[in-house]
Amino acid sequence: MFPVPLDDAFDVYRWVSEHAAELDGDPTQVVVAGDSAGSNFAAAIPLRARDEGVRVPDGVVMLGAFADFQFERWPSFLALAPRGIVYDMAFAGFIRGAYVGAQRWDHPWVSPIDGDLAGYPLTVVVAGTHDPIVDSARAFADRIRADGGRTVDYFPEGMPHGFYFFPGVHPEEDIAYRVVAEALHDVFGR
């Protein structure tokens, strides 16, 4: 139950940031990434880091970008979730109930789209147009840009949630990974 899963993800981020040099890494080049529910944690980590006075990550990668637990306010969710290619309304409701319960859906660490995104790091936002969360993913990218941040977005037509799991099956999967790689190259400068 919230915030325990985010606590775990944040603890890993903090540990990596503090020990990057011991791992022959650069503590000034740390990116958080996640897929589906994990992308929600990745999106929340910069907000929590800023709130707790911890160095903010240098980038965020969100595959199946999940930035809002208030699903019902998005037309794509209302239109696509009832058909449930990968998940449906009932499953989304179960996940929300298991993670957050009946309240705090608008807490910025739960729904980063509702947070103050000023100073938010470069963010890669990936979601297919047949993913029920695509409208909230697009809106999250728009909010980041409106607050002065940068995003690299990829919203391939006709692709469902998790379409990137099968590289080589459709060109969209390979493009998604290329988009991520190019954005990381931009963050790391190599």
**Per-residue pLDDT tens over the stretch 31-70:** 999 999 999 999 999 999 999 999 999 999 999 999 999 9
Structure token pair of residue 96: 């929300």
Average pLDDT estimate for 3-24: 97
DSSP element (H, E) containing 123:
strand 122-126
Half-sphere exposure of 190 (CA within 13 A, CB side): 2
Average pLDDT estimate for 9-18: 97
Whether 121 and 46 have beta carbons less than 8 Å apart is answered as: yes
Surface-to-core class of residue 63, CB atoms within 10 Å of its CB (0-12 exposed, 13-18 middle, 19+ buried):
buried
Q: In the chain, which ranges are continuous DSSP H helix?
A: 4-19, 37-52, 75-80, 89-99, 134-146, 171-188
The pLDDT value recorded for residue 35 is 98
Residue 125: pLDDT over 70:
yes
Q: What is the CATH number of domain 4-188?
A: 3.40.50.1820
The residue count for the chain: 190
The pLDDT value recorded for residue 30 is 96
Residue 103: pLDDT over 80:
no
Residue 146: pLDDT over 80:
yes
Mean pLDDT over the full length of the chain: 95
The pLDDT value recorded for residue 102 is 78
Residue extents of the structural domains in the chain = 4-188
Instruction: Tell me if the pTM is above 0.85.
Output: yes
